[in-house]
């Protein structure tokens, strides 16, 4: 029996990330090679013509899994019946801009999109927020879409997670698929904490800890962390555009693992609603190590946290509390 198509919404679909993401979804990279999809692409009215161009290209590519395309500037039409929502649209942070500058614009965008999802999305719709400030945009969306379960609203830190895997893989000259269990704690910002203390590498003599193989704590505690934290800015400097291909690919990874499950013994990083695990204040969307089964994520419990890690985890939580306060002040 052929599967029923899944409706996937991409907001900001005419933009750089959207343009990289929609063919990946249509190819089955996000939901599996046997899962038909109907793509809902939403963007703002000034992007309507470009959005129509993307729709034409999707038709021209003749993707076998793509069973329909909705391209619209109307939030209600875009959100109706969607099972998965990837929120890429937002007010962009431009070079030299502080995250705080873009907060008030994004609060109003996410408040209105939350209302449309709340009324029109399918029950149990899974939401992934990509647009920055991603953690706080997700928090605002949660606030204004109360009927969507809080476990269904997440933000993207898989890009940072993948960047951390990539740095370890390059350093050790091993395939990235042999590296696992790095963690991104906290905010998708330059305060995030990329943690390798629990990360492992598959070697010919079994799994070995990353620290043991790298044998350079100075690099792991210094340059490695700052490279991952600043990677987005480095790409903007190099491309004169923000990372689109890697963001789209990691959004697919995030949803695929959430829906289809993480491999046994492997955890990934997701920005999720804190329940107080690891003494992270509840009420924040914070990046934790998670495993996924049967369409549900669970925070990996009981990992030992050293003093250095604790400080870095608290620092990024502090920034998230400040962002939350700033976002709520924009609402009043």
Looking at the annotation, which residues are catalytic? 188
Tokens in use for 51? 């959005």
Give the residue among 74, 84, 172, 170 at the shortest CA–CA distance from 130. Answer: 84
For the chain, report the end-to-end CA distance as a whole number of angstroms.
51
Q: Report how far residue 282's alpha carbon sits from residue 289's, in angstroms, rounded to the nearest whole number.
A: 16
Contact yes or no for 40/8 (Cβ under 8 A): yes
Per-residue burial over 179-200, b = 16 or more CB atoms within 10 Å of its CB, e = otherwise:
bbbbbbbbbbbebbbbbbbbbb
Q: How many CB atoms lie within 10 A of CB 50?
A: 15
Helix (H, G, I), strand (E, B) or coil at 33: coil
Q: How many CB atoms lie within 10 A of CB 329?
A: 11
Place of tokens 């029950």: 123
Give the residue among 150, 143, 241, 242 at the shortest CA–CA distance from 188. Answer: 242
Quote the distance between the C-alpha of residue 305 and its chain's center: 24
């Amino acid at each position: 029996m052929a599967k029923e198509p899944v409706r996937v919404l991409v907001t900001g679909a005419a933009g750089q990330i959207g343009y990289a993401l929609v063919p990946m979804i249509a190819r089955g990279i996000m939901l599996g090679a046997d899962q038909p999809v109907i793509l809902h692409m939403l963007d703002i009215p000034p992007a309507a013509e470009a959005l129509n161009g993307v729709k034409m290209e999707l038709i021209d590519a003749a993707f076998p899994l793509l069973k329909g395309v909705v391209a619209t500037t109307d939030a209600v039409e875009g959100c109706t019946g969607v099972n998965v929502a990837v929120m890429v649209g937002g007010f962009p942070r431009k070079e030299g801009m502080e995250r705080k500058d873009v907060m008030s614009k994004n609060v109003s965008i996410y408040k209105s999109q939350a209302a449309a999802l709340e009324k029109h999305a399918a029950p149990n719709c899974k939401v992934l927020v990509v647009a920055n400030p991603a953690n706080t945009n997700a928090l605002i969306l949660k606030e204004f879409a109360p009927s969507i379960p809080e476990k269904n609203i997440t933000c993207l830190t898989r890009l940072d997670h993948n960047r951390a895997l990539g740095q370890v893989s390059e350093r050790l000259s091993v395939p990235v698929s042999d590296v696992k269990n790095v963690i991104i704690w906290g905010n998708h910002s330059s305060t995030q904490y990329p943690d390798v203390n629990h990360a492992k590498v598959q070697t010919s003599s079994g799994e070995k800890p990353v620290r043991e193989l790298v044998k350079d704590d100075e690099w792991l505690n210094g340059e490695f962390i700052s490279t991952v934290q600043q990677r987005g800015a480095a790409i903007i400097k190099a491309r004169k555009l923000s990372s689109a291909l890697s963001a789209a690919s990691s959004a697919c990874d995030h949803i695929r693992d959430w829906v289809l499950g993480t491999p046994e013994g492997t955890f990934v990083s997701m920005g999720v609603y804190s329940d107080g695990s690891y003494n992270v204040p509840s009420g924040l969307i914070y990046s934790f190590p998670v495993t996924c089964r049967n369409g549900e994520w669970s925070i990996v419990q009981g990992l030992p946290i050293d003093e250095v890690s604790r400080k870095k985890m608290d620092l990024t939580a502090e920034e998230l509390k400040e962002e939350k306060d700033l976002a709520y002040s924009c609402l009043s």
